């Protein structure tokens, strides 16, 4: 079809064929004007005979060129003539995920969820621009050396703005095709979510959910059969995420790629930060070493960093105060109530003393009467003493004594 050294558009030299599929071939090439390495996707000549294909593909290439996201491959140029139509894109240094899986077999749950979150984030950007990829698969997910992922090959994507294809057109790879695409219905963003769920299943199980002798048999399994169970060492939360992504009815899947991003990132953070393993990386840890995560919707948030040390509190609290426990959330002690300032509490106001040592009113009255009696007695004694001192006082005293004494003569 094409060979190394061929110059397309008088500018792009083909250097090495790096892939191919149902839509055409992908070459690593060189932009001789700017002197940079590019990826060139050349469409099959048969597609050029399709009425309106060139115009529709050009319109979608323009839409794709406006996408700005680190996880979406950049589109540089598009050209066509009577015999050739090609798309010039960013050349991504790295390995396709398909090559990584063929090398290591399976990925850990944490690394799978981190990868799916990146891919779903890139798909969300395309969906927001009205573009459905239609061919999400490991071969179109390029992993850079630093572990970041780039979604490539929008060559058969369907633009909702341009209306590339309609009902009855089946495009894509059978092993990753959604049930609605297999049934000849229009692909939607939910179709890309399903295909990404097949990728996640393959990363976790080391195999695709459906296999067959031919593409038709595989496509019918996507329509009719439930996916086989995932391995037993997959955490329940991750299992639920993937199974919901693979729902036959699009309405039962995650409502958008953005929703899938949120749950996949949370699962990856809960299980431990992960990415795609480099060459020679370890396979899935043995059973028992993979932490079990709570069900979806109850994933715990990542642990916050430890607070810096603080000076001792002059008024220590008797202990932490816990908020009521909510399922799926860790109990976190709240700050105990403290004084606003270290000032001492005010002294208590003194009250009148009331007790048995305080005299009662009756005792006070008795004391007063006793004092009056003492005064009267003292006055009488003084009068008697004065009378004794006088001359006749003593005789009068004896007379008085005789009068008061009883007489035998009377």
Tens-digit pLDDT profile for residues 197-212? 999 999 999 999 999 9
CATH number, domain containing residue 79: 3.30.200.20
Q: What's the whole-number mean pLDDT along residues 58-62? A: 80
Q: CB 224: neighbour CB atoms within 10 A?
A: 11
Tokens of 27: 């070459």
Q: Is 380 helix (H, G, I), strand (E, B) or coil?
A: helix
**Helices vs. strands in the chain: H and E counts, helices first:** 11, 13
- pLDDT more than 90, % of the chain: 42
| Domain termination site, one of 42, 61, 91 | 91
199 and 153 in a common domain = yes
270 and 128 in a common domain = yes
167 and 26 in a common domain = no
- Give the number of domains in the chain: 2
At 246 the pLDDT is 97
At 274 the pLDDT is 45
- pLDDT more than 70, % of the chain: 65
Residue 199, in any domain of the structure: yes
Environment class of residue 204 by beta-carbon count within 10 Å: exposed (0-12), middle (13-18) or buried (19+)? Answer: buried
* 119, 136 contact by CB (below 8 A): yes
Query: For the chain, what is the mean pLDDT?
Result: 75
At 406 the pLDDT is 53
Instruction: Name the residue with tokens 């220590």.
Output: 316
pTM attached to this predicted model: 0.62
Stretch (H or E) spanning 151: strand 149-151
At 360 the pLDDT is 64
The secondary structure of residue 331, as a DSSP letter, is: -
Res. 223: pLDDT tops 80:
yes
DSSP readout, 9-41?
A: TTTEEEEEEEEE-SSEEEEEEEETTTTEEEEEE
Tokens of 152: 């490539």
116 and 19 in a common domain = no
164 and 97 in a common domain = yes
What are the residues facing 42 on neighbouring strands?
A: 25, 86
145 and 30 in a common domain = no
* 228, 243 contact by CB (below 8 A): no
| Domain termination site, one of 245, 277, 309 | 277
Residue 69, in any domain of the structure: yes
CATH number, domain containing residue 126: 1.10.510.10
Among the ranges 36-45, 155-164, 203-212, which has the highest mean pLDDT value? 203-212
Q: Which residue has the higher pLDDT, 228 or 22?
A: 228
Q: What's the whole-number mean pLDDT along residues 51-71? A: 82
- Output the CA–CA distances (angstroms, integers) from residue 393 to 126, 266, 273, 380, 400, in the order listed: 142, 125, 127, 15, 10
67 and 112 in a common domain = no
Residue 377, in any domain of the structure: no
Of 183, 187, 180, 195, the closest CA to residue 165 belongs to 187
At 245 the pLDDT is 98
Residue 20 belongs to domain spanning: 1-91
What residues are annotated to the active site?
135
Res. 352: pLDDT tops 70:
no
The secondary structure of residue 175, as a DSSP letter, is: G
* 60, 159 contact by CB (below 8 A): yes
128 and 164 in a common domain = yes
Res. 350: pLDDT tops 80:
no
- Output the CA–CA distances (angstroms, integers) from residue 189 to 44, 196, 405, in the order listed: 26, 11, 141
Q: CB 347: neighbour CB atoms within 10 A?
A: 6
Q: What's the whole-number mean pLDDT along residues 312-336? A: 40
Q: Which residue has the higher pLDDT, 273 or 122?
A: 122
Q: What's the whole-number mean pLDDT along residues 130-156? A: 86
106 and 2 in a common domain = no
Residue 364, in any domain of the structure: no
What are the residues facing 86 on neighbouring strands?
A: 42, 79
| Domain termination site, one of 91, 122, 143 | 91
Alpha carbon distance 336, 22 (integer Å): 66
At 159 the pLDDT is 44
Alpha carbon distance 79, 86 (integer Å): 6
Of 16, 41, 20, 19, the closest CA to residue 29 belongs to 16
Res. 349: pLDDT tops 70:
no
136 and 4 in a common domain = no
At 409 the pLDDT is 47
Question: pLDDT band for position 155 (50/70/90)?
Answer: low
Of 210, 78, 95, the closest CA to residue 144 belongs to 95
* 114, 107 contact by CB (below 8 A): no
Residue 101, in any domain of the structure: yes
Alpha carbon distance 403, 408 (integer Å): 12
Tokens of 81: 């003539």
At 376 the pLDDT is 81
Among the ranges 141-145, 157-161, 315-319, 342-346, which has the highest mean pLDDT value? 141-145
What are the residues facing 31 on neighbouring strands?
A: 12, 36
At 49 the pLDDT is 79
Res. 62: pLDDT tops 90:
no
125 and 58 in a common domain = no
At 408 the pLDDT is 47
Res. 277: pLDDT tops 50:
no
80 and 133 in a common domain = no
Q: What is the pLDDT of residues 283-300, one digit of tens each?
A: 344 334 333 333 333 333
* 153, 41 contact by CB (below 8 A): yes
Res. 396: pLDDT tops 70:
no
Question: pLDDT band for position 196 (50/70/90)?
Answer: very high
Q: Which residue has the higher pLDDT, 281 or 93?
A: 93
Q: What's the whole-number mean pLDDT along residues 260-282? A: 70
Residue 182, in any domain of the structure: yes
Environment class of residue 44 by beta-carbon count within 10 Å: exposed (0-12), middle (13-18) or buried (19+)? Answer: middle
């Amino acid at each position: 079809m094409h060979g190394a050294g061929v110059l397309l558009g008088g500018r792009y030299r083909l250097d090495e064929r790096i892939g191919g599929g149902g839509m055409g071939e992908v070459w690593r090439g060189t932009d001789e004007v700017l002197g940079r390495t590019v990826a060139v996707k050349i469409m099959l000549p048969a597609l050029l005979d399709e009425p309106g294909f060139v115009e529709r593909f050009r319109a979608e290439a323009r839409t794709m060129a406006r996408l700005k996201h680190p996880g979406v491959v950049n589109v540089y140029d598009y050209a066509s003539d009577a015999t050739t139509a090609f798309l010039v894109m960013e050349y991504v240094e790295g390995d396709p995920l398909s090559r990584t899986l063929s090398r290591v077999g399976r990925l850990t749950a944490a690394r799978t969820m981190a990868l799916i979150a990146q891919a779903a984030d890139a798909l969300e950007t395309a969906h927001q621009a009205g573009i459905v990829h239609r061919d999400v698969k490991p071969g179109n997910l390029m992993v850079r050396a630093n572990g970041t992922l780039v979604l490539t090959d929008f060559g058969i994507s369907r633009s909702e703005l341009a209306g590339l294809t309609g009902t009855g057109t089946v495009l894509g790879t059978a092993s990753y095709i959604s049930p609605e695409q297999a049934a000849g219905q229009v692909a939607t963003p939910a179709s890309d979510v399903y295909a990404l769920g097949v990728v996640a299943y393959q990363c976790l199980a080391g195999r695709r959910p459906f296999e067959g002798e031919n593409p038709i048999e595989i496509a019918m399994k996507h329509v009719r059969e439930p996916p086989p169970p995932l391995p037993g060492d997959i955490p329940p939360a991750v299992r639920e995420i993937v199974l919901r992504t693979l729902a036959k009815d699009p309405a039962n899947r995650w409502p958008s790629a953005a929703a899938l991003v949120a749950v996949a990132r949370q699962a990856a953070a809960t299980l431990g930060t992960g990415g795609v393993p480099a060459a020679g990386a370890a396979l899935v840890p043995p059973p028992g070493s993979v932490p079990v995560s709570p069900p979806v919707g109850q994933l715990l948030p990542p642990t916050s960093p430890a607070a810096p040390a603080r000076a001792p509190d002059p008024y220590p609290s008797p202990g932490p105060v816990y908020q009521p426990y909510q399922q799926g959330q860790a109990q976190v002690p709240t700050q105990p109530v403290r004084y606003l300032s270290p000032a001492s509490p005010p002294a208590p106001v003194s009250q009148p003393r009331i007790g048995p040592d305080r005299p009662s009113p009756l005792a006070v009255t008795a004391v007063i009467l006793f004092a009056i009696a003492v005064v009267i007695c003292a006055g009488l004694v003084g009068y008697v003493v004065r009378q004794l001192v006088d001359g006749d006082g003593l005789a009068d005293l004896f007379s008085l004594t005789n009068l008061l004494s009883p007489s035998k003569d009377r």
